[in-house]
Amino acid sequence: MLDMDWTALRAELPVTERWAYLDHAAVAPLTRRALEAMREWADDLTANGLVNERRWLTRIDEVRSLAARLIGADPLDVAFVKNTSEGIGIVAEGFPWQSGDNVVIAEEEYPANQYPWLNLGGRGVEVRRIASRPDGRLWIDDIVAAFDARTRLLSLSWVEFASGFRNDLDALGALCRARGIAFFVDAIQGLGVFPLDVGKTPIDFLAADGHKWLLGPEGAGLLWVRREWIERLRPIDIGWNSVVGARDFTKIDLQLKPHAGRYESGSLNVAGITALGGSLEWLLEIGIDKVAGRVLELTDHLCRRVAERQADLTVFSSRRPGAASGIVSLAYADPARVGAVVRDCRANGIIINKRAGRVRVSPHCYNSVEEIDRLFGYL
Q: Which residues bind ligand PLP (CB under 6 A)?
A: 83-85, 110, 112-113, 157, 161, 186, 188-189, 209, 221
Give the shortest CB-53-to-ligand PLP separation in angstroms: 27
Helix/strand/coil (H/E/C) assignment for every residue in the chain: CCCCCHHHHHHHCHHHHCCEECECCCCCCCCHHHHHHHHHHHHHHHHHCCCCHHHHHHHHHHHHHHHHHHHCCCHHHEEEECCHHHHHHHHHHHCCCCCCCEEEEECCCCHHHCHHHHHHHHHCCEEEEECCCCCCCCCHHHHHHHCCCCEEEEEEECECCCCCCECCHHHHHHHHHHHCCEEEEECCCCECCECCCCCCCCCCEEEEECCCCCCCCCCCEEEEECHHHCCCCCCCCCCHHHECCCCCCCCCCCCECCCHHHHCCCCCCHHHHHHHHHHHHHHHHHCHHHHHHHHHHHHHHHHHHHHHHCCCEEECCCCCCCCCCCCEEEEECCCCHHHHHHHHHHHCCEECEEECCEEEEECCCCCCHHHHHHHHCCC
Between residues 188 and 291, which has the closer beta carbon with respect to ligand PLP? 188
CB of 85 to ligand PLP, least distance (A): 3
| Cβ closest to ligand PLP, residue 36 vs residue 218 | 218
Quote the least distance from Cβ 9 to ligand PLP, whole Å: 25
Q: Which is nearer to ligand PLP, 276 or 313 (CB)?
A: 276
Q: Which is nearer to ligand PLP, 56 or 80 (CB)?
A: 80
CB of 167 to ligand PLP, least distance (A): 11
In the complex with ligand PLP, which residue's Cβ is closer, 31 or 157?
157
> Which of residues 84 and 151 has its CB atom nearest to ligand PLP in the complex?
84
The distance of closest approach from Cβ of residue 84 to ligand PLP in the complex, given in angstroms and rounded to an integer, is 3
Q: Toward ligand PLP, which CB reaches closer, 84 or 325? A: 84
Give least dist CB 355 to ligand PLP, A. Answer: 9
Shortest spacing between CB 161 and ligand PLP, in angstroms? 3
